[in-house]
Structure 1
Amino acid sequence: METTATTETTATPVTNAAGKPYHAKRPHRKSRTGCRNCKARKVKCDEGRPACRMCTLRRETCVYMAAPKRAPRSTSSSSPTPSRDGDAAALEQRCCTSAVVPQPQFRPGGHDETDMRLLWFYTTATYSSFSTGQLKERNVDVILKVNVVQHAFANRFLMDTILGLSAMHINHLGIRNLGISRSLELQYRARAFENFRKAVEAADPSTYPALLITSLFLCGLSTHVFRGEEARPFAVLDWMNLWKGIGTIIELIRSQHEQLFRTRLGSLVFRPAVDLDASARCIPNQLLLMIASIKEGDPDFPLSQVYYRALQLLGSLYLELRNGFTPLLFLRIVTFFTFFPNSLIRPAREMRPRALVIIAHYLVFTRFKANHSWWIEDIAQYEIPNICSFLGPGWEDLLRLPIASLYTEDNTALARLLLGDPSWHPPSKIEQVPAPSLYEERELAIRTVKAEETAEEAREYLENYAADEFC
């Protein structure tokens, strides 16, 4: 007969190497502030005052260790200095991995809380609008975030320009919780232009560094004329004139204060030189034919060489585009008008057709999605149709490419259109500039100011987002 064995589990004492039974220690919460005697005996202290129970039973003097003093919480914006290499590494890691940069609490005289919020946003996001990458000749991130701000506190016209730029950037991204209105943006912008004009007239050498910086920023600040209710047709002609004026200021200060350009600020206004001969070989044939076909007796005949020089400058953009979407390409696009001769600005402002055609082809390059150059967006979409409408059907053939660019959003597709090569790809060995969409940049900025959002505002944003997505 088959039997079924029943197995019982019995507790078998665990033995150590000496064969003696081992009993696990009873778990208990360690005392961090016990008396010296208990700590020496490695027993738990009940921390009774003035004497613990163990010392009372042993009739010993109960002595407690002094509690370590905590470092006072600093109210300044400076960071604590680590005392050891390991602490320094940990601190650096925390700083580098922090998702949200806290807004500054320090408020210098003459500036209210709104000014400080805008200045904080500039050093967090807006400064990168004028950094086209880590070029060997133009590594300016530190200059934009540190040196520029130092000059701004000493020169009100530069500070107003920075605050106006930040206000425009915030409104461009649609960030609401910082409380920056369009009217406030307008106030900063008007004050910046007025004070800059006065500083130029005064020509005080001590303000030259701030004048250089402001002249660069004003080209971004002035792009409000291409968007919204303030937009007006052919504002690009005034914008071109402003860029040319900046080039003149740069050369004037350079000739009188070469030492200034040997400092770090020199890299801020760096412009890549143009090889006119090499650029001339990249001019599109239809544009060359437009100039070559000018007959004697035509009102534009005396301007033939001027137009050709403009096409050489335009050719530098085509030449650099062959290398892909490099930081140098975007720098050439931004500084393009600073190379324009006064002799070309005049016919453009006179609305001569050939000058407008050249400008329309330049505007195609502003369609490239740069890394953070939000202020140059929408210029082509606004001005190319204005140029086409003004010139009419007679110039339609020369404007086919600018019109086609308005329906092209992808950088590679736009480059293929410009180069006339449907199979073109950016060279893989050259560092390319990433092109985040406006939505991605908006999300980045919203995450940056997330610490300022209230639960109600966050909930309202999500409700609106859901309504837009699913209605």
Structure 2
Amino acid sequence: MERIGLPATTPLADKPFHTKRAHRKTRAGCRNCKARKVKCDEGRPGCRACTARNQTCIYTIPPKGPKPSSAPEQPGRPASSAMTVLHEPLFIPARHDELDMRLLWFYTTTTYTSFSTGGLRQRSVDIVLKVNVVQHAFANPFLMDCVLGLAAMHVNHLKLRHLGVPALKELAYRARALETYRRAVEAADPATFPALLACSLLLCGLSTHVFRGREAQPLAILDWMVLWKGIGTIVEVTRLPLRFQSSGIATLFFRPDADLDASAQRLPGYLLSIAASISAGDPDFPLVATYYAALQHLGSLYLELARGLGQMLLLRIATYPTFLPAAFINAARERRPRALVILAHYLVFVKLRVKTRWWMDGISDHEIPSIAAFLGPAWEHLLRVPVAALQLTDHEDIARLLLDDPPIGSAPKT
């Protein structure tokens, strides 16, 4: 069909002026088309209309606001003659910068899994860690500081340089998390109790920097156990009313029950002798019941290990410190040898979970030698298994060592 006054074969260059037709609005068109209120095909370097009219085609970056086909210009980048297009919009809430958002993304996709025990029927925590904890974090800055610090630490542990977390920035996140958490504990606002509990759990991972690198300290395990025990203390102090159950994070603190009598029977005899051999004149005599309690819960790890290397074993390993009596923690911090021997055997179990719990990586290899060096030759007969575990990396080999079950064909015990 021919237009009025123009043959159908007239080239576009000969008919730069034509009747306007209805079209969908464009927000990325050139300046000339916008002025003439016609549809721009957004061709580069010049659109068809400007080419036909022999005009210079100029594109401008659109103003801020909803942009269905583009994203806002990024801060710090100079405007260019061509529009900058991002594949996804960049949403940055108040108080947080782009690095914060990258770390929050890394936490919700990767870091949270190191606190998960998988699909246990009794403890389905993945959604809690990814959703509920993050919701509480946006409402409680001290928890957000902990989440970001943990993610930064994880990024650098994996040496993911492309995510751009300088070591000093990781240190700043961690220092801010510890300081804001301390202030929140002192404030003791009941509205923050669920977030405080979630933060106390994540801090147990964030604080493991003391076992690695330049910040490594001998026997740091003693202060670290206090952090773990602190989870139970916060539960007792806050008494967690119905607010805790409705907060969505209660499942994070599920602890499996243990048959302590059966657990004690599964302990190696030489460990039971630690408490049984204490006489009335021994300085540790007032701690006999305390040592038995710590050994019974340690026995639950041996009992679970005999059933296999499953998720329940990992959960028992993670929650063991929360069962320890306060008197045992104090005895360990006083460097009492029997308490340190028990901790050294617990550290052998910790080696079974480092592949999935990156923040526990290196703790056992750092602390078992520290304990052995502190106790000296007088206690080395009770540290045979922990010291031998230092040479092992395979989980089945470590399990056989703990269960005193050498593989077929190995040399007999002497």
Q: Distance in 1 between matches of 2:318 and 2:407?
A: 27
**Aligned-pair CA distance for 1:75:** 5.0
Question: Does 2:368 match 1:384?
Answer: yes
How far apart are the structure 2 equivalents of 1:73 and 1:411?
52
Choose the corresponding residue for 2:227, options 242, 265, 282. 242
Separation (CA, whole Å) in 1 of partners of 2:249 and 2:354: 23
Contact 1:132 1:371 in 2 (8 A): no
- Could you tell me the TM-score, scaled by structure 2's length? 0.77
Q: 1:103 & 1:236 partners in 2: Cα distance? A: 44
Total equivalences in the alignment:
344
| Amino acid in the other structure paired with 1:73 | S
**Alignment partner, residue 84 of structure 2:** none
2:201 to 202, 211, 216: 216
How far apart are 1:103 and its partner, in Å? 8.1
Residue correspondence of structure 1 range 53-452 to structure 2 within 5 A: 72-73=68-69, 105-253=90-238, 255-261=239-245, 263-370=247-354, 372-423=356-407
In 1, Cα distance between equivalents of 2:246 and 2:275: 40
Distance in 2 between the 1:320 and 1:274 partners? 10
Identity of matched residues, %: 59
Runs (4+) off by over 2 Å: 49-53, 65-76, 250-253, 261-264, 369-372
Deviations 1:277-332 (A, max 9, x none): 22111111111122212222111122111111110010011111122121111111
2:355/2:361 contact within 8 Å kept: no
State the 1:262 CA deviation. Answer: 5.3
Cα distance in 2 for partners of 1:230, 1:393 equals: 28
Is there any run of 5+ residues in structure 2 with no aligned partner, and where?
Answer: 10-20, 27-66, 73-86, 409-414
Q: Is the 8 A contact 1:165 1:220 kept in 2?
A: yes
Whole-Å Cα distance in 2 between the matches of residues 324 and 393 of structure 1?
Answer: 34
Deviations 1:319-368, CA, capped at 9 Å, x for gaps: 11122121111111111111111111111111011000000000000101
Amino acid at match of 2:397: A
What is the one-letter code of the residue matched to 1:195?
A: T
Q: 1:131 to 1:69 in 2, by over 3 A?
A: farther
Q: 1: CA distance between counterparts of 2:201 and 2:207?
A: 11
User: What is the alpha-carbon root mean square deviation over aligned residues?
Assistant: 2.7
Give the CA deviation at 1:251.
3.2
Amino acid at match of 2:164: G
Give the alignment's TM-score, normalised by structure 1. Answer: 0.68
Tell which structure's C-alpha radius of gyration is larger.
Answer: 1
Deviation of the 1:68 alpha carbon: 8.6
Which structure exhibits the higher relative contact order, with contacts defined as CA atoms closer than 8 Å and separated by 6 or more residues? Answer: 1
Q: Tell me by how many angstroms 1:67 deviates.
A: 8.0
Distance 1:177 1:206 in 2: 38
Amino acid at match of 1:228: G
Q: Which runs of 5+ in 1 are unaligned?
A: 1-34, 36-48, 54-64, 77-101, 425-471
